[in-house]
Structure 1
């Protein structure tokens, strides 16, 4: 085995099929890679049965303890009859298996489409389910999974892209100066929010991780589950101008509060969390650049045009941080 190769280069189709068979399933040889960059995910055909989804976790991203916390949380949600897609319990009594140097989990195949938030009550219903998820999430804390920290995440991410040499020389100073200004405004917003409760979250609850089929809502992919404020699972569904976001927030919160209280001070966290996500996405590409999939699919990363556009986007975000937070409409 070539030790210098990226670990996923050793994840061959035969290894994937053999790994699934090692869990007691008879595969039929059909294998379809699904859209995933952080992990590797495949639809695997099962003899005389419905295909399974096999997720092979990126080595060294999460510890085994952190992966087990994710699956235990999702199992807790399933037990509470919340519509989530959890891993299949295997013959070993757990949700994780190991094969060929990889840790993986198997999931039932579930289809559906992203929710259409233009339809009446869609966001209200999504808000209701997130309220239920957070009811369960507040029962205990993650012990191994990280807690969301915008300041620490931004500082770590921007340092890495600078040290890795991705930012062009003529843009390094504007980028560093802008990061300092952003952190100042983020700190001000955090102080405005004051103390907020921290609970177990989905962590990446955008519309692409919610499926709708025959009016049934399913929450999928808890790979980014973390400890943090409730607003993290709500703000990613806001889009459009401030008026549109206000209406969307109103629908979400109205549904959410059917099952859980919402602290309105958490609205001050939306733009800090959005800023964190923008900066962390660029850092994520830099962190993963040794994976051959990334240069292939993101060839524009590291080019001067990307960084000039990125800095422009962050300047717009600085203006957003200086505005009053989005609020539900006054009834």
Structure 2
């Protein structure tokens, strides 16, 4: 079977600069790579020394229509005053540029640092930001964006891991058993029927920037439809019940300054956590032909990693099958 060509293998520095210039920018500083794996993202300054970010989309991941949905969401949020890194549009309103086989979008570079999740004041401010986001996005239609489907996502992740050839012997058998049990459990779960809205989709601290009092959201690459709690649960500690309750209280209090939060959604958190854990390992393996991934995740070739992963999945399986205090 022919090997896959590595994505971005033809994105040389000179081609990257030409693409940015053809989109309508002069380059005032040498672009440098930011920490991104799914796409290729570079910071640069224009001729006026204004800082920008150039995002080159991974080939074949999203359709142009799905990227247009992402940009439309950003435009609506920015128009509503929600602090986000909005996409740049040229005089004709174009935000996605096709240049020399690459798809490119540009964003103003936002400054700030990631939030401190043990700071209750910052959690309140994060709740406000996400509440504002959802108050604006809840009525928006994104027809080309996915809807969260835990059973399908976990099954696809399981299949990807088992077909990767990375697991063998007892570890493979153990992974196969626990992942199958998780998929079966999800299939028979009876969760509260809550609304799905347009969400950021990957709302972890690395995609949040601020000064400790106000925060902005960046990187809407995974936006789609899910319960609102999808954008909240990654701000929580999972180790101490008392800490998590206190964190939730602050986040929800800030959130409800802009939008009511349906507390029945808290019952979804173990499912969301399990799905993310399974998807993350599968995502890395599915991208292994991209040279950036073996370099960034070398432990994926370690048997110790997979044994630990199986143990973590077993913990999540038990959490799915037993009553949750959050519910």
For the pair 1:129 / 2:143, whether they are aligned, the reply is no
Structure 2: unaligned runs, 5 residues or longer: none
In structure 2, the CA distance between the partners of 1:298 and 1:175, relative to structure 1 (3 Å rule), is: same
Aligned twin of 2:201: 203
- The alpha-carbon deviation at position 310 of structure 1 amounts to 0.5
TM-score normalised by the chain length of structure 2: 0.94
RMSD after superposition: 1.8
Cα distance in 1, alignment partners of residues 187 and 123 from structure 2: 30
SS in structure 1 at match of 2:30: strand
TM-score normalised by the chain length of structure 1: 0.93
2:234 alignment partner, one of 233, 236, 253: 236
Structure 1: unaligned runs, 5 residues or longer: none
Give the alignment of 1:100-119 within 5 angstroms. Answer: 100-119=100-119
Cα distance in 1, alignment partners of residues 284 and 62 from structure 2: 17
- The alpha-carbon deviation at position 47 of structure 1 amounts to 2.1
Cα distance in 1, alignment partners of residues 135 and 124 from structure 2: 17
Cα distance in 1, alignment partners of residues 310 and 139 from structure 2: 40
- The alpha-carbon deviation at position 163 of structure 1 amounts to 1.4
Cα distance in 1, alignment partners of residues 14 and 120 from structure 2: 47
Aligned twin of 1:145: 145
- The alpha-carbon deviation at position 116 of structure 1 amounts to 2.1
- The alpha-carbon deviation at position 29 of structure 1 amounts to 4.8
Aligned twin of 1:213: 211
Aligned length: 324
Give the alignment of 1:1-331 within 5 angstroms. Answer: 5-187=5-187, 190-191=189-190, 193-213=191-211, 215-239=213-237, 240-327=239-326
In structure 2, the CA distance between the partners of 1:52 and 1:202, relative to structure 1 (3 Å rule), is: same
Cα distance in 2, alignment partners of residues 326 and 221 from structure 1: 32
SS in structure 1 at match of 2:31: strand
Contact persistence 2:31–2:44 (CA under 8 A): yes
Cα distance in 2, alignment partners of residues 231 and 46 from structure 1: 38
Cα distance in 2, alignment partners of residues 104 and 14 from structure 1: 15
Which has the larger displacement, 275-284 or 251-260?
A: 251-260
